[in-house]
């Protein structure tokens, strides 16, 4: 069976706070044991990650509602209002305005800040995106399609008739900030990179895929983590996939319930394009781990 993962590298041997006594010698059919730590370990030499810009676009693609901040006319402060939104190919956001106060504020200043957060348990789980820029007023009849209104209606629960009567605006980001909750990294992203980036193509299916892997394949995940870290399964308490994209996946691994969780990254050789391909790759990885454990695969 062709390996779906690349070869283990010595770079995975990172400094650790875990005592040496909890580590074991690798088996003859397993790679060298990875030293689990509270930082990231790359299990494979091609463990590439999404760019910060792609993560920002991923948050925008999965967060269907956010908070719009406008300057309060005649007052030193901001008015916060929730709003559903759609992301355009350029990364611009279009959204309906439900509050009269927001329209009043925008008449004085078009500068806004918009905050959105990815739902827990899916792509870019709990990561946050902040966009700062100016808005342009849109004409519902000319600038907003019926499909756009229906999409917002579906995600927000508001009727098509209600949304068609509201004022719509387009936010063109001039500054972009992303807080990646998976990697615990916060950074500014150049607006040009954000505009050109593509979101994680598995984002729409990530919640279902992660739920299936973690709830239905617990033992297979432990076996995989054990084989590819060089540690025996009995030494591991938990192994959970916390994110997946076309380049690879991230796992949270613990030696015991009281130990500090370690984060590991493995890369895909063949990028999955959808949930079905993603599931197929993981099944092959689980089978490969089983064969390695039983000595039928070198």
Characterize the bridge pairing of strands 167-180 and 86-87.
Answer: unpaired
Residues forming CATH 3.20.180.10 domain(s) in the chain: 10-50+204-293
pLDDT at 34: 44
CATH architecture of 10-50+204-293: Alpha-Beta Barrel (3.20)
What is the reported pTM? 0.81
Residues forming CATH 2.30.110.10 domain(s) in the chain: 52-197
pLDDT at 44: 66
CATH architecture of 52-197: Roll (2.30)
DSSP strands (E only) in the chain = 40-42, 65-71, 78-84, 86-87, 93-97, 111-117, 128-138, 167-180, 185-189, 238-245, 248-254, 262-267
* CA distance linking residue 226 with residue 233, whole number of Å: 5
Series of mean pLDDT values for 10-residue runs along the chain (298 residues) = 33 28 28 45 75 97 96 87 95 95 93 96 95 96 94 94 95 97 92 96 91 92 86 85 92 81 84 86 89 76
pLDDT at 112: 97
């Amino acid at each position: 069976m062709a390996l779906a993962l690349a070869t283990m590298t010595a770079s995975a041997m990172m400094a650790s706070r875990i005592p040496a006594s909890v580590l074991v010698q690798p088996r003859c059919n397993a790679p060298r044991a990875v030293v689990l730590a509270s930082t990231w370990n790359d299990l494979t030499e091609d463990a590439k990650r999404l760019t910060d810009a792609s993560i920002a676009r991923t948050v925008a693609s999965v967060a269907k509602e956010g908070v719009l901040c406008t300057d309060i006319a005649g007052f030193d402060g901001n008015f916060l209002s929730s709003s559903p939104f759609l992301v355009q190919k350029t990364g611009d956001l279009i959204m309906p305005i439900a509050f009269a106060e927001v329209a009043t504020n925008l008449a004085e200043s078009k500068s806004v800040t918009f905050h959105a957060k990815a739902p827990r348990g899916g792509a870019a789980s709990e990561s946050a995106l902040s966009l700062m820029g100016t808005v342009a007023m849109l004409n519902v009849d000319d600038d907003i399609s019926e499909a756009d209104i229906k999409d917002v209606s579906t995600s927000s629960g508001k009727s098509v008739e209600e949304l068609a009567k509201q004022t719509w605006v387009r936010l063109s980001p001039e500054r972009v900030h992303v807080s990646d909750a998976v990697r615990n990294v916060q950074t500014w992203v150049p607006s040009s990179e954000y505009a050109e980036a593509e979101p994680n193509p598995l984002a729409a299916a990530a919640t279902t895929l992660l739920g299936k892997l973690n709830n239905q394949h617990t033992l297979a995940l432990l076996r995989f983590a054990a084989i590819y870290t060089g540690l025996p399964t009995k030494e591991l308490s938990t192994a959970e996939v916390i994110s997946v994209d076309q380049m690879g996946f991230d796992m949270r691994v613990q030696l015991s319930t009281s130990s500090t969780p370690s984060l590991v990254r493995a890369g895909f050789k063949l990028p999955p394009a959808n949930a079905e391909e993603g599931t197929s790759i993981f099944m092959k990885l689980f089978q490969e781990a089983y064969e390695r454990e039983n000595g039928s695969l070198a």
